[in-house]
Amino acid sequence: MAVDACRRHRVPLIPFGTGTAVEGGVVAVTGGLCVDTSRMDRIVSVHPRDMDATVQAGVTREQLNRHLSDSNTNVFFPVDPGADASLGGMAATSASGSNAVRYGTMRDRVLSVEAVMADGSVVRTAGRARKTVTGYDLTALLVGSEGTLGVITEVTLRLAAVPEAISSAVCGFDTIEHAVEAVIDCLVAGIPLGPNGILDEVQIEAVNRTRGSATPSSRPCSSSSTDPQRRWSNSPVRSK
């Protein structure tokens, strides 16, 4: 009703999730009506064996993962943009993060959305089935639309299995090209890599000053194992 009224009176309407994005997309530079979805915070359904979950737009990433952990499902939602963003906002902005290489972005993880169109009508873009060729791919159209095509009110998401173990490694390379080639070689070999980062000597020195650490700027490879539950500290999940 509010959406249709804004359309008829040509009033800009801006959906608001948790306001964690730094791009300023929720700033009403020309005025208008801001729709806060934060109270739409219900986890509608979870299907661990199908590895999907349906949540309202205001549910945050950490809230969903906390629920999955408390339910001993051994699955979690892996897209991690850093902030505890709302999942509706993450879908609207096609969020990604440091896990994108391993788990993809929101475009890869959203199975369907429910959204309110400009005329006030409510549409659901698809079902829960991953293999479907029915009609236009409206899900892909709405994910990343930044609220310009409709207000996302509900999302169905693909979940991922919690890894049994995680290892981290720090390696020294002579050039950036060598570092990039090493990552590519690992991916081509089928090694499931998570976040990857490159630091040069200047950045390592800055980290050492800030944290009081003594990481050498040049070193051979070293690795360590990490408890998956600790690794996903921002997305609390529990491994068996």
Distance from the Cα of residue 156 to its chain's centroid: 13
Separation CA 152–CA 227 (nearest Å): 35
Domains and CATH numbers, the chain: 2-161 (3.30.465.10), 166-228 (no CATH)
- pTM for this structure? 0.82
User: Which amino acid appears at position 84 of this protein?
Assistant: D
Neighbours of 35 (CB within 10 A): 18
The Cα 227–Cα 28 span in angstroms is 43
CB-side neighbour CA atoms (13 Å) of 18: 19
Confidence band of 177 (pLDDT split at 50, 70, 90) = very high
The whole-chain average pLDDT of the chain stands at 87
pLDDT at position 231, please?
Answer: 47
The token duo for 197 is: 């980062």
**How many angstroms separate the CA atoms of 1 and 74, rounded?**
40
Separation CA 107–CA 126 (nearest Å):
14
Nearest to 154 by CA among 88, 60, 92, 66: 88
